A = this chain, B = another copy of it.
Amino acid sequence: MRDKVVVGIAGMPGSGKAVFRKTLQKMGYPVVIMGDEVREEAKRRNLEPTPENLGTLMLNLRETEGPAAIAKRCIPKLEKATEKIVGIDGIRSLPEVHEFKKHFPRFLLVAIHASPKKRYQRLFRRRRSDDPQNWETFMERDTRELGVGMGNVIATADQMIVNEGTFTQLKTRIKKVLKEILEDE
């Protein structure tokens, strides 16, 4: 049997990235969430998991342990998984991608893309507390993601899923990608 496939999930806020994660999980495949590593480290340091603290801690970890700090901390969890596919959610920069590629011969980077207009509509309709309330806040969030290197990750993805349509269309497309991965044995 060939190595398991580690599927990296990338996308801008509101692109539909979470649907990919949930689809994997519902199909019985584990997903390692990079943000969880930061939350666990915050716990170890007795820090309140506020967005500010988590943001500062993430930058701190990158500064002291290098740009792939969070990725490196996820490797043991990914290695432990015995399933044919294991997802990794929260990739934001190319050094992280290179770290995963170095460890997993079958690493596949999947990006989900939607137009800024569509992403704005989705985030605004959802009205979660941390969602942008207006276009300016939306642009600030986009700029923050791009500043870390998300654009480079998306531009060099192995698979690009365009998500301008419905939720059902997205799920169908995601399942097709996963089916192709499983058939490539």
Contact = CB atoms under 8 A, between A and B. Distances in A.
A181 interface: no
Interface stretch (A45-53, A66-74, A126-134, A157-165): A157-165
A159 B163 CA distance: 10
Interface stretch (A29-37, A80-88, A145-153): A145-153
A158 B117 contact: yes
Interface in A150-183: 150-160, 162
Q: Identify the 7 closest CB pairs spanning chains A and B, nearest first.
A: A151-B151, A151-B152, A151-B155, A154-B155, A113-B160, A146-B152, A115-B158
Interface of A: 12, 94, 113, 115-117, 142, 146, 149-160, 162
